[in-house]
Amino acid sequence: MNHKGEAMSEERYFLENNTSPVKKGGYWYLVTGFFLGVVLGLIYTWWINPMVYQTTDPASLSDTYKDTYRSTIAQVYVATGNLERAQRRLNLLEDENPVYVLGAQAQRALAEGNAEEARALALLASDLQSNGQLPLVTAETISPDVSASATPRVVPTQTLPLATSTP
């Protein structure tokens, strides 16, 4: 009797809604919710609260900051005349063609009326080109033993932990 009543009820439901009660909506709402959650999580981690890199290297600086860094390297070179050290510092910026980048920046500096800066950049570019560039020296290839060398290396070494990031 009871079973018969339930069967009739389901039959009426099916007739009225043209579907079974189990299939109505199905489980797609779970998939939708999960997908929505993943999207929200990605929006949070990529835009709202992205990773903040605490210990970066000069190569990761924006172009404007790289220009300032490069300009400082050139001015130090003018002051000290130490081409090898300038080369090492330039390598930290990981420019594909340091001479070309220095030349281009010198032209920009000249156009902006910074003659002294332009001269320093051009001089470094010229000396690098005429003396032949040293092989690429990166933080990984520099000996961490600073105190043991006759001329202590002032460029960063690999003894510090690698760049880390925190959310």
22 binds another protein (CB under 8 A): no
CB-based contacts of 34: which residues, under 8 Å, 6+ apart? none
Binding mask 82-101 for another protein (x = CB under 8 A): -------x--x---------
Structure tokens, 162: 């690698």
Cα separation, 148 vs 145, in Å, equals 6
| Structure-block tokens of residue 141 | 């290839």
Q: Closest separation between CB of residue 163 and another protein, Å?
A: 7
- 98, 133 Cβ separation under 8 angstroms: yes
How far apart CA 18 and CA 15 sit, in angstroms, is: 5
Question: What is the nearest approach in angstroms of another protein to the Cβ of residue 132?
Answer: 23
Q: Applying CB under 8 A, does 152 fall inside the site for another protein?
A: yes
Q: Does 115 bind another protein (CB under 8 A)?
A: no
Instruction: In whole angstroms, give the CA distance from residue 127 to residue 99.
Output: 9
Residue type for position 70: R
The reply to whether 136 sits near another protein by the rule CB under 8 A is no
Span interacting with another protein, options 12-20, 52-60, 106-114, 123-131, rule CB under 8 A:
52-60
Q: Which residues bind another protein (CB under 8 A)?
A: 25, 29-46, 50-58, 60-63, 65, 68-69, 72-73, 75-76, 78-80, 89, 92, 146-147, 151-152, 154-157, 160, 163, 165, 167
